[in-house]
């Protein structure tokens, strides 16, 4: 017959109490540590490369040069700053259009009607296709000579347009493609927010004599304000990172004249076309800081709205 010492019993009891008190961290800790490693190591390595003259080969010797890459990139008015402008233009234009169209479609789908389920499924179909496939499909549609877009314009006597081949039309055309594919995501988010609303505020405003626009602007929109900010946050970050559609349609450098070269395409070209890993890492770190700043601003606004 074995006996357990009082000291071991007290230690086991104390550990059980501690483990029960911190059980959520014990179970989630390994996963959190694994995710942290996956995030911290790539960012840390990219920061390190941005402070070196790494180029030519990943195995080539490199030297620590401090902030020289950052000075080179930030003073580059030929490629970097135009890429920043295109990134902001593409993201801002696509996001505003997707938010307006998404809100309009969500309001139309908010109230029950015959065939509502079929319409919802049809609207979500663009999300099923991969961005590369979508880019190649629209590339064929906007082909200047045999594309359906110019054929349709010809039916109305409108001259053919360069679409993706024009320096001034390529980026707006790709914005249209992005809007076509990702507006359904905004619809999905906003429709979830609208579906959670009670009918009482809208009915009270209707009784008070408010018209449809007044009920939307002064009643419905303030009630789903946090949902709108969430949609802007999710879709805005995703639009900032857009790469596949741009590269699938225009190729290296964002076109012959870099007409659709955003920061993602620019960093990809520096790394895989010119093997300038230090400069590419610098662009990515600056881009990452832009995204973090945008997320911080939207999150702070959301918290301000919650308080």
Domains and CATH numbers, the chain: 6-50 (no CATH), 78-306 (1.10.3720.10)
Supply the pLDDT for residue 186: 95
Per-residue pLDDT at 304: 66
What percentage of residues in the chain have a pLDDT greater than 70? 93
Cα separation of 231 and 227, whole Å?
6
Model pLDDT for residues 177-218, shown as the tens digit of each residue: 999 999 999 999 999 999 888 888 888 888 888 898 999 999
pLDDT in tens, 241-283: 899 999 999 988 898 899 999 999 999 999 998 999 999 999 9
Own/partner long-range contacts of 182-185 (Cβ < 8 Å, ≥24 apart): 182/94, 182/98, 182/126, 182/127, 182/235, 182/238, 182/239, 183/97, 183/98, 183/101, 183/102, 183/105, 183/126, 184/102, 184/123, 184/124, 184/125, 184/126, 184/127, 185/98, 185/102, 185/127, 185/234, 185/235
Q: Which two tokens stand for residue 52?
A: 């070196």
Axis crossing angle, helix 131-141 with helix 170-195, rounded to the nearest 10: 130
**pLDDT tens digits for range 123-180:** 888 988 888 899 999 999 999 888 999 999 999 999 999 999 889 999 999 999 999 9
- Please give the pLDDT value at position 10: 58
Please give the average per-residue pLDDT across 61-66, as a whole number: 90
- Rounded to 5 degrees, what are φ and ψ at 52? -125, 175
* 20 pLDDT tier (thresholds 50, 70, 90): confident
Read off the pLDDT of residues 286-297 as tens digits, 9 standing for 90 and up.
999 988 888 888
Across 38-53, average pLDDT: 91
pLDDT at 22 over 90: no
Q: Reply yes or no on whether the pLDDT at 116 is more than 90.
A: no
- Closest Cα partner for 44 from 275, 288, 295? 288
CB–CB of 224/305 below 8 Å? Answer: no
Q: Which pLDDT band holds residue 12 (cuts at 50, 70, 90)? A: low
The answer on pLDDT for 1 being more than 50 is no
The pLDDT of residue 307 is 59
Instruction: Give the pLDDT score at 140.
Output: 93
């Amino acid at each position: 017959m074995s006996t357990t010492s009082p000291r071991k019993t007290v230690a086991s009891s104390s550990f059980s109490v501690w483990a029960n008190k911190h059980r959520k961290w014990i179970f989630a800790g390994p996963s959190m540590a694994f995710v942290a490693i996956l995030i911290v190591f790539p960012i840390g390595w990219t920061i390190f490369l941005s402070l070196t003259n790494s180029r030519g080969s990943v195995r080539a010797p490199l030297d620590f040069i401090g902030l020289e890459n950052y000075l080179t990139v930030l003073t580059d008015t030929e490629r970097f700053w135009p890429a920043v402008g295109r990134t902001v233009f593409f993201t801002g234009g696509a996001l505003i259009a997707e938010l307006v169209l998404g809100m309009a479609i969500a309001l139309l789908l908010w109230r029950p009607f015959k065939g509502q389920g079929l319409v919802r499924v049809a609207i979500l179909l663009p999300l099923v296709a991969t961005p590369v496939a979508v880019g190649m499909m629209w590339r064929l549609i906007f082909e200047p000579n045999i594309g359906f877009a110019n054929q349709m314009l010809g039916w109305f006597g409108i001259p053919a347009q360069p679409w993706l081949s024009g320096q001034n039309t390529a980026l707006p055309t790709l914005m249209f493609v992005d809007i076509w594919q990702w507006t359904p995501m905004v619809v999905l988010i906003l429709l979830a927010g609208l579906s959670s609303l009670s009918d009482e505020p809208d009915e009270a405003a209707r009784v008070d004599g408010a018209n449809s626009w007044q009920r939307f602007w002064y009643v419905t929109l303030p009630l789903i304000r946090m949902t709108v900010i969430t949609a802007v946050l999710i879709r805005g970050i995703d639009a900032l990172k857009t790469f596949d559609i741009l590269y699938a349609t225009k190729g290296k450098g964002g076109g012959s004249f870099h007409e659709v070269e955003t920061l993602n395409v620019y960093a990809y070209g520096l790394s895989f076309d010119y093997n300038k890993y230090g400069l590419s890492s610098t662009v990515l770190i600056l881009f990452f800081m832009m995204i973090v700043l945008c997320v911080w601003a939207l999150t702070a606004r959301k918290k301000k709205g919650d308080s």
